[in-house]
Amino acid sequence: MIVKARAGTGGPALARYLEGGKNEHAEVLELRNMDAPNLKAALFQMDALAKGSQCEKHALHVQMRAAHGEHLSADHWREAADRYAEAFGLQDHQAAVILHHQKDGCTHCHLVFNRVHPETLKAVHLSYNYATHKELARKMEQDWKLKQVSSQKQDGKHRDYSNGGRNETEQARRVGEDIHAIRDRIRTAWEQSDDGQSFTAALGEEGFTLAQGDRRDFVAVDDNGHVYSIGKRTTGANAAAIRERMAGLGNVPTIEEARLAIQLAKEEEQKLERKQKGKKGGEASAANIPGAFNQTAEHRYGKGERGQRFYISTEARRKAWEQAAANRIERMRERHARQYEKQQQGFEQKANLERGEVVQDFNHMQRHDLTQDLLKKQAEELAKEYQRQQEQREKWAKKDIYSNYYAENRTVLDQYKKERVRTAGGFKTQLREELTRQKQQAAHVGATNDNHEPEKQEQKPQQQQEKTPADEYREKMQRHRGQRRTRKPER
């Protein structure tokens, strides 16, 4: 049994904590020496009573937890509350007993006592309550035959010094390593060595380099340049014992020098690996390249032919596109599911803090509207993606129709090209003949106009007399356009 307590100011924050979170279910077991409908009202009464006294921290928050695997009934928790009240003289004080039921089946108890007496308005003193808590826990373990949880600190020989050290823990977590495994390796090297030289060698076998620390005498630097302290937490020995063992050690590099040496060693190793890899790659390439690849493209594919082995086919390209489109739709659905789940979790967290049917109904309507807006937005985004993919498929379908038509009529087009008679001569000859032909045609047209000129002159007055309103409007617009072209720009 573990019993611990802390005095505070109470208030809404304590009420929210006691009402349970998303991983716990809270149960108000009992409210003592007050008439309150719920836990929040009970804590409000405690705060109101304490305002009439001079006590600043009136809310005594007690936590009781049995060992892992032990299960206590509600009567046991009530009796535990009675024993605690009797031990500190809180029988007549206001109190609340709350149980927290976890998902794994374990249950622990929270007690809230008002240190201020309801009649005298004097607060109970709780100085040096650690011994009383320990005695009370041992007594309940003995009476109820529970597993005993030791409150004594273990000696240095069997104590686990791997706990603690947040900076080193976070440093190991960022690189994907376990801080406990790292400290076990350092401790193994310490236990296997008798002096500084052997400890340095043992650290080297474990992948560490011994260096001088900034705030500690000695530290261990790993291959990534991360620093881990060598102290009581890792070795189990205090600073004096560590200095005594390292007394015969010579010059120890600093952290920067150790990091520089590790970096140089890595560069040399990488250079050697590249060199060896280049030799092996050259031998393999010289032995495996077939003779056909040493020939020219003309010898490999024939004159005028194109090597198709270096180009992906249209069918394979479209198949890869379809797979990528399906993956995109799947990723979009997963993202939409995460957004919906995150929104609902936020709604649940806010709902746990709400009290009152009117407030809950109003907020429920708002959350329903927000959920519908999110689902509508996601549906529109999904529909837009489907439309984009369908447009691409239709584009490819049209291209296939044109390709099939060309393939079906290719023989006819080839036959037409063969039957077509090519004009003799080069480009200049063809151009000269074309110009001569155009001159002859222009001369023929001019002679025809000279022969029919009197008839046109006689028909002109008739054409002018037969003008329609549409012809007049057309001539007016032409004159207007001519005036706009000849108008000078204003300065």
Instruction: Spell out the domain ranges in the chain.
Output: 2-144, 166-261, 314-406
**319 neighbors 396 (Cβ within 8 angstroms):** no
**378 neighbors 333 (Cβ within 8 angstroms):** no
The two structure tokens encoding residue 202: 């043992």
Q: Which fold does the domain 2-144 belong to in CATH?
A: BirA Bifunctional Protein; domain 2 (3.30.930)
Strands 218-221 and 209-212, sheet pairing: antiparallel
**30 neighbors 81 (Cβ within 8 angstroms):** yes
Top-confidence residue, 483 or 99: 99
* Confidence bin at 490 (pLDDT 50/70/90): low
Answer whether residue 3 shows pLDDT above 60.
Answer: yes
Work out the mean pLDDT of the chain and round it to a whole number: 80
Answer whether residue 411 shows pLDDT above 80.
Answer: no
Most confident of 31-45, 157-171, 301-315: 31-45
Top-confidence residue, 363 or 354: 363
Cα 373 to Cα 165, 341, 366, 369: the distances in Å are 47, 14, 11, 6
* Closest among 124, 127, 129, 102 to 113, alpha carbons compared: 124
* Confidence bin at 297 (pLDDT 50/70/90): very low
pLDDT digits (tens, 9 = 90+) for 227-257: 888 888 788 888 888 888 888 787 888 888 8
CA distance 199 to 242: 11
Residues 6 or more apart whose CB falls under 8 angstroms from that of 38 comprise 28
Average pLDDT for 284-313: 49
* Mutual angle of helices 410-419 and 357-408, in 10-degree steps: 40
pLDDT of 150 reads: 65
Average pLDDT for 267-272: 86
**28 neighbors 108 (Cβ within 8 angstroms):** no
pLDDT of 433 reads: 79
Residue type, 482: G
pLDDT digits (tens, 9 = 90+) for 95-144: 999 999 888 788 999 999 999 999 999 999 888 888 999 999 999 999 99
pLDDT digits (tens, 9 = 90+) for 390-409: 999 999 888 888 888 778 87
Average pLDDT for 276-299: 53
- Cα torsion 75, 77, 81, 84 to 10°: value is 120
CA distance 169 to 171: 5
**With the C-alpha atoms ordered 101, 102, 107, 113, is the resulting torsion angle positive or negative?**
negative
Phi, psi of 407 (to 5 degrees): -65, -40
Q: How many CB atoms lie within 10 A of CB 39?
A: 18
pLDDT of 300 reads: 45
**With the C-alpha atoms ordered 222, 224, 225, 226, is the resulting torsion angle positive or negative?**
negative
Answer whether residue 59 shows pLDDT above 90.
Answer: yes
pLDDT digits (tens, 9 = 90+) for 175-215: 777 888 888 888 888 888 888 888 888 888 888 989 988 88
pLDDT of 275 reads: 81
Cα 458 to Cα 89, 452, 481: the distances in Å are 136, 10, 30
Answer whether residue 307 shows pLDDT above 70.
Answer: no
pLDDT of 487 reads: 54
Answer whether residue 92 shows pLDDT above 90.
Answer: yes
pLDDT of 45 reads: 93
Top-confidence residue, 108 or 420: 108
pLDDT digits (tens, 9 = 90+) for 72-86: 999 999 999 999 999
